[in-house]
Chain A
Amino acid sequence: MKLLHKTLFNYLLFSVFIFLISTVVFYFLVQNLWENDVDESLIYQKEKIIEGLKAGTFEDTVVENFTRNAQKLGVEVSIVPVTGSSPNAEFFRNETYPDPVRNHAEPFREMVSLIQVNGENYKITVRKDLVESADLILEIIIAQAILFLILLIGSLFFNNSFSKRIWQPFYELVVRVKSFRIDKQEVLVAPETRITEFDELGEAIERLTRDAIRTFSTQKEFTENAAHETQTPLAVIKTQLDLLAQDENLTEQQSEIITRIEKNVRILSKLNRNLLLLARIENEQVDKTGQTNISAVVDEICSALEEEIKMKGLTLSLSLLPDVPVISNEHLVHSLVANLITNAIRYNIPRGRIDIQLSNDRFEITNTGQGHSLDESRIFERFYNSKGADGSGLGLAIAKKICLTLGYELNYRFSMPDHHTFTVKFT
């Protein structure tokens, strides 16, 4: 969930809660006010009646007039003389009475008072119909609800666009951090904001990337220097071993030792060359503007490896489009193709197959091998290889790096029962 949505959602929840509560409270408040108002008018009516009674003008015609007048105001009055009841009691109540016209019960507010006027006891009942008031309350509530909704939507909208503007530099920063690549050697520049927190965050990230880049290039330099500096001693060891091998008096055991040393020196030099190549590619010290005929490269490597393939009992099927040109680096393309083909030979099974296809937009090599897929996420890592393999563990890492540098796409897929396919897309 996005940050903006999260805050908006919480805001909305709170608003709806307040809206519901306030509507209920408001309803009761308005009703209460209204009832007080009605009660006051009932009391006023009662006082008028008492006045009339006191003045002794309490006659049927007067009552009739009074009642008629009162009815115009929505008030019904009844005055009944009573005996033996205690005077000066007064209470209000809500009642419903059937409405003869509308044919159903209607709510009324009723005041019943027992009074004594001129020594006579009367029970005066005054009631007022609440239909209109209920309608009025409903209308008030609706109006209030609409107002509140407008306020809510308005503030949501305002809040949304406002937050968007405020958070905009933050999202910009996220985009820049996402596109940051340490091997590009470009320090990340945080966007200008006028918000302290964002500025601090941006500054921290800038510092972090600057440090990371410095560490990265130091480490890269180290790899390159180390690889470079080991070349000479390795060459010396090689020539000295060659000299030692000329000794007439070598025993078999000593010869075996020399063979073993020589083998490992060779592995070491190969590793060394590959590390240097990797470092050079990473430093982008490659010219990528040369014209390379990939068909010729593939052809050359295949014929160099022909005997090796034959000796291992593998079947090679080549389907090459002739003269596929790419603007690229011949050395790197050579290294890429050689790595993929030797890989296909190295991890093949006895009497297996290798299929190589080259078209205008892709180079694809499929080999038979173990019956399960390789770990796609890790095969292109350095020194990730199956145990006991003869490779240096750099082949696919180099292939991947070369593809990255040349802008190609290198993909791996497995298909049943045992076909491993590597595809290079020249895009």
Chain B
Amino acid sequence: MRVLAVIRRRNFRGSNRIEYGGLSIDIVRESVFFQDNPVKQLSPKEFDLLMLFMSAPKRVLTKGAIAEHLFGDHADLFDNFDLVYAHVKNLKKKLKQTGCPDYIKTVYGMGYKFETS
């Protein structure tokens, strides 16, 4: 997690926007665009998830790491990562609806990786 935080700090660099592969996040307004089309109805958890992916592109994020990011101290309360899976699935669906290519790749059973192409 510390690694991710460092990456995030470096990527934000005073800016309120994160951009990657045509996707852009306005951190202050909490809004997401894909090539100027708004990605609608993202839940807070899905927004967090997308932030995590975009701040660490090309990195394999294990389900455990994702759960810790999403649920913080409460991650301990879950016995499995079905919930992570559900959130990722929903996020993917909503991105697809705005015409965004499938950037979120499944890395075997291990986790997910956010990358273009």
Q: Are A305 and B109 in contact (CB under 8 A)?
A: no
List which B83-117 residues lie within 8 A (CB) of chain A.
83, 86, 107-111
Number of interface residues of B (CB under 8 A): 22
> Which of B17-25, B27-35, B47-55, B72-80 lies at the interface with chain A?
B72-80
Q: Which of A201-209, A255-263, A399-407 is the contact stretch?
A: A255-263
Cβ of B79 and Cβ of A346 under 8 Å apart? yes
Known: A242-B65, A246-B59, A311-B86. A390 touches B79 (CB 8 A): yes
Q: How far is the CB of A278 from chain B (nearest CB, A)?
A: 15
- B residues near A242, Cβ cutoff 8 Å: 3, 62, 65
Cβ-neighbour of A252 out of B65, B74, B108, B111 (below 8 A): B108
Indicate with 1 or 0, residue by residue over A297-333, a CB within 8 angstroms of chain B CB atoms. Answer: 0000100110110010000000000000000000000
Min CB gap A324→B, angstroms: 21
Given contacts A245-B111, A252-B108, A311-B86, contact A262 B62 (CB under 8 A): yes
Asked whether any CB of chain A lies closer than 8 Å to the CB of B60, the reply is: yes
B36 lies within 8 A of chain A by Cβ = no
Contact partner of B77 among A263, A266, A338, CB < 8 A?
A338
- Interfacial chain A residues near B64, Cβ < 8 Å: 262-263, 266
- Whether A255 lies near B65 (C-beta < 8 A) is no
Verify A304–B74 contact, CB threshold 8 A: yes
**B109 partner, pick from A255, A308, A338, A346, beta carbons under 8 A:** A255
- Give the Cβ gap from A227 to chain B, nearest Cβ, in Å: 15
Decide yes or no whether A160 CB sits under 8 A from chain B. no
A305 x B77 contact (CB < 8 A): yes
Q: Is B71 at the interface (CB under 8 A from chain A)?
A: yes
A241 to B61, CA, bound (A): 11
Q: Looking at chain A's contact residues, is the secondary structure mostly helix, strand, loop, or mixed? A: helix
Residues of the A chain whose Cβ atoms lie less than 8 Å from the Cβ of B79: 342, 346, 390-391
Residues of B within 8 A of A256 (CB): 108-110
Q: A246, B77: Cβ atoms under 8 Å?
A: no
A259 touches B83 (CB 8 A): no
Cα–Cα, bound, A338→B109 (Å) = 28
A47 to B80, CA, bound (A): 123
Segment 283-308 of A: residues with Cβ below 8 Å from B: 301, 304-305, 307-308
Q: List 22 A-B contacts (CB under 8 A).
A: A239-B3, A241-B62, A242-B3, A242-B65, A245-B107, A245-B110, A245-B111, A250-B107, A250-B108, A258-B62, A259-B62, A259-B108, A259-B109, A259-B110, A263-B64, A270-B76, A273-B76, A305-B74, A305-B77, A307-B45, A308-B83, A390-B79
Apart from A245-B111, A255-B107, A391-B79, 18 more pairs, CB < 8 Å: A241-B62, A242-B3, A242-B65, A246-B59, A252-B108, A255-B108, A256-B109, A262-B110, A266-B64, A301-B74, A301-B77, A305-B74, A305-B77, A308-B77, A311-B82, A338-B77, A342-B79, A390-B79
The interface of chain A, by Cβ under 8 A from chain B, is 239, 241-242, 245-246, 250, 252, 255-256, 258-259, 262-263, 266, 270, 273, 301, 304-305, 307-308, 311, 338, 341-342, 346, 390-391
Residues of B within 8 A of A (CB): 3, 45, 59-60, 62, 64-65, 71, 74, 76-80, 82-83, 86, 107-111
- Top 10 A-B pairs, shortest CB-CB distance: A390-B79, A255-B108, A304-B74, A245-B60, A255-B110, A259-B110, A252-B108, A342-B77, A259-B109, A246-B60
